[in-house]
Structure 1
Amino acid sequence: MRYRVWRRAAGLLAPLLLLALGGCAGAGRADPVTVRIGVALYQQDDTFISTVAQHLEQMAKEEEQARGIKLNLNMADGRGSQAAQNEQVDRFLAQGYDVICVNIVDRTAAAVIIDKAQAAGVPVIFFNREPVEEDLMRWEGAYYVGLDGAQSGLLQGGIVLDAWRQDPEALDRSGDGVLQYVMLEGEPGHQDALLRTENSLKVLAQAGVPTEKLASDTANWQRGQATTKMTQWLEQFDGGIEAVFCNNDDMALGAIDACFAAGLSEEELPFIVGVDATPPALEAVEAGTLKGTVQNDAAGQARAMLELACALAGGTAPGDAVELTDGKYVWLPYTTVTKENLEAFLPPAS
């Protein structure tokens, strides 16, 4: 196993590396140690993924200043193509990067990347899009940083349930005692889309809230596709949509766009909820057009990846840098965001 050879070599260098890294901590040097991290993104124009990338870049700069090391990040955009992402990973490995971080296009294709990384002896950290467990377990140098999709669905459903309990008439505009809803889903087969869809409705069912699904369809996480779908549904159901469940914020914003384009006023909007707590979504929560979202911790994922990458590059135990589950997973919590607690999630005023 070449990773074991790499770890033994790193162990011999650890006393020197720890002076500069210390798990990404150390004193400044005239010739600081450089850690090269290749970051392969599934699609950089995805709002949430772009936010993660921005946090990574900012935190890497802060870490350099604070620790006297060099953190060189190279971001590559897969543009939704697994073949293109595989080529980007090949380049990172051929160029001798210390660690690669992969937001994989197709979660079922992780084995190919893991095998490539293992052959090169380079640790790989998957993030946000979880590989199949069997693939992640095939090599000790593979890790995952992310959040539990089921929890995001439960929290999203909880936002709607709380609103129903507080003022059922505000949601039940038809007065029939049933919540009529539509569902905008992420890409087909994506584990988070499946889990968010299932669990958001489970909360309402367990609480005994009667629901009726008017329609559901995939919009592939995209704002524009969601606008198109929602426009069709508004025409089809002619004011009958009382709630819109969206697997992410971009699709929720697309639904809002469609409502306004159809001539609905803010008061006439259905109860729309999303997931991610992206900056544009937080603005919509503040404006009252998006009733709630669930924070997918972009900053937390970026921080965990940097800490884990520095530990791996420095030859130190990953478990000393981050809290690992089953030696493989860094799990972060989702958090409900509504207008009532929004201030805690907004960036500080400049």
Structure 2
Amino acid sequence: MKRMRVLAAALLAALMAVLPGCGRTSATPTVRVGVAVYDQTDTFISAITQHLEQMFQEEEQRLGVKINLSVADGRSSQSVQNEQVDRFLDLGCDVICVNIVNRTAAAVIVDKARAAEVPVIFFNREPVEEDLFRWEGAYYVGSPGAEAGRLQGMLVVDAWRADPAALDRSGDGVLQYVMLEGEPGHQDALLRTEHSIQTLVTGGVQVEKLESAAANWQRSQAAERMRQWLEAVEEPIEAVFANNDDMALGAIDACLEAGMTVEELPFIVGVDATAPALEAVRAGTLQGTVRNDARGQAESIVALSRALMGFEDVSEAVELTDGKYVWLSYTAVTAADVLSQAKPVGR
């Protein structure tokens, strides 16, 4: 892209200006990076943001440049986030990183970035494929949602096979479960929901869905849903699937408030392996989670940003699928995994 070539040339000239023997000095070259997140109160997104802030500071020292990093919170509003992207472009950002509010609305941001010739890296919330392919300067960093669902399902399948009576409290040979979903229409929510249960069925576990509802990734909303179900559902809730850890923790909150002991809790599983979730696994209230690699995502975003700003070739910085996607793997986390660590696993 023309802007990338111009930026690379400018950086090279600035760096040459400070080399010994050049007969002159110059200020440290400056690059600008804008990061727009859908909601900074989200525990996982907050972790990614913290990693990005730390890693871009480290890049300053390594590259010998000044990196002006701006982080904006979209507060779950796509219109607010669009305005933030406009502001980043007005500020002259060299790369924009977007954790998009509405994955179906990426075309607007891609077109804005293309018009300004500023590369855009979407992360963690995958845009529609057609939108990502609108321009060569648009990329995505994240993990495949179906894999998270499969691993979450296997946590329950393995527990069922090891001791079915521990989960099947009604003794009917069927696992009665409830599902706490992320926001409606979100790809990860759909895939995690579908593949977690599909994995149980494929694994030979008979299941019955008692209830399901969207809690929009929020702990408080999940707790309220779980309170309602505990009062309304006649059958014992034997398992709780939550599309992320915050919602799993909300379910735990409601159960403990209802007077359940740790031993009486349903088999509850989440996704993300956030620090609070790992503490819950250690305490025995959360039976397992699936690690969504916040640090790995941040590392890939920084590496791709570095390449897009002209410091190295994109092909050397990251491994791209279809020239667009940087995929990171999920891993399952059980109590045995957490307890084997001398310190909290963290992210």
For Structure 1 versus Structure 2, the TM-score category normalised by the shorter chain is: over 0.9
For 1:175 and 1:246, the matched residues in 2 are separated by 24
Secondary structure class of the residue paired with 1:109? helix
For 2:14 and 2:118, the matched residues in 1 are separated by 17
**Equivalent residue letter for 1:5:** K
Tell me which of 104, 125, 129 is aligned to 1:108: 104
For 2:249 and 2:67, the matched residues in 1 are separated by 35
Secondary structure class of the residue paired with 1:184? strand
Q: What TM-score, normalized to structure 2?
A: 0.93
- Cα displacement (A) at 1:58: 1.5
Per mean C-alpha deviation after superposition, the further-off stretch among 54-63 and 135-144 is: 54-63
Q: Is the 8 A contact 1:36 1:98 kept in 2?
A: yes
Q: Is the 8 A contact 1:35 1:310 kept in 2?
A: no
Q: Does 1:288 align with 2:292?
A: no
For 1:313 and 1:179, the matched residues in 2 are separated by 52
- Cα displacement (A) at 1:6: 1.4
For 2:92 and 2:81, the matched residues in 1 are separated by 17
Per mean C-alpha deviation after superposition, the further-off stretch among 228-237 and 96-105 is: 228-237
- Cα displacement (A) at 1:208: 1.4
Q: Is the 8 A contact 2:177 2:210 kept in 1?
A: yes
- Cα displacement (A) at 1:211: 0.6
Q: Is the 8 A contact 1:185 1:247 kept in 2?
A: yes
For 1:160 and 1:178, the matched residues in 2 are separated by 13
Query: Partner residue of 2:212?
Result: 216
| Correspondence 1:179-218 to 2 at 5 A | 179-218=175-214
Q: Is the 8 A contact 1:18 1:314 kept in 2?
A: no
Q: 1:53 to 1:240 in 2, by over 3 A?
A: same
For 1:17 and 1:334, the matched residues in 2 are separated by 41
Query: Partner residue of 1:84?
Result: 80
Q: Number of paired residues?
A: 338
- Cα displacement (A) at 1:66: 3.9
For 2:277 and 2:131, the matched residues in 1 are separated by 34
Tell me which of 59, 65, 68 is aligned to 1:72: 68
Query: Partner residue of 1:137?
Result: 133
Query: Partner residue of 2:326?
Result: 330
| Percent identity over paired residues | 66
Q: Is the 8 A contact 1:184 1:226 kept in 2?
A: yes
Q: Is the 8 A contact 2:271 2:289 kept in 1?
A: yes
For 1:153 and 1:203, the matched residues in 2 are separated by 8
Query: Partner residue of 1:247?
Result: 243
Secondary structure class of the residue paired with 1:138? coil
Q: 1:118 to 1:344 in 2, by over 3 A?
A: farther
Q: Is the 8 A contact 1:127 1:146 kept in 2?
A: yes
Q: 1:308 to 1:17 in 2, by over 3 A?
A: farther
Q: Is the 8 A contact 2:121 2:301 kept in 1?
A: yes
Query: Partner residue of 1:270?
Result: 266
Q: Is the 8 A contact 1:7 1:315 kept in 2?
A: no
For 2:278 and 2:235, the matched residues in 1 are separated by 26
Q: Is the 8 A contact 2:279 2:344 kept in 1?
A: no
- Cα displacement (A) at 1:63: 2.6
Q: 1:234 to 1:63 in 2, by over 3 A?
A: same
Tell me which of 43, 49, 54 is aligned to 2:45: 49
CA deviations on 1:18-67 (whole Å, 9 max, x unpaired) are 889xxxxxxxx984332211000100101111111111111222233344
Secondary structure class of the residue paired with 1:340? helix
Q: 1:344 to 1:60 in 2, by over 3 A?
A: farther
Q: Is the 8 A contact 2:273 2:291 kept in 1?
A: yes
Q: What TM-score, normalized to structure 1?
A: 0.92
Q: 1:185 to 1:53 in 2, by over 3 A?
A: same
Q: 1:348 to 1:48 in 2, by over 3 A?
A: closer
**Equivalent residue letter for 2:145:** G
Q: 1:196 to 1:98 in 2, by over 3 A?
A: same
Q: Is the 8 A contact 1:82 1:106 kept in 2?
A: yes
For 1:295 and 1:319, the matched residues in 2 are separated by 26
For 1:133 and 1:275, the matched residues in 2 are separated by 24
Q: Does 1:5 align with 2:37?
A: no
Q: Is the 8 A contact 1:17 1:314 kept in 2?
A: no
Unmatched 5+ residue regions in structure 1? Answer: 21-28
Query: Partner residue of 2:21?
Result: none
Secondary structure class of the residue paired with 1:341? helix
Query: Partner residue of 2:227?
Result: 231
Unmatched 5+ residue regions in structure 2? Answer: 18-24
Secondary structure class of the residue paired with 2:321? coil
CA deviations on 1:224-266 (whole Å, 9 max, x unpaired) are 0000000011112256100000000000000000000100010
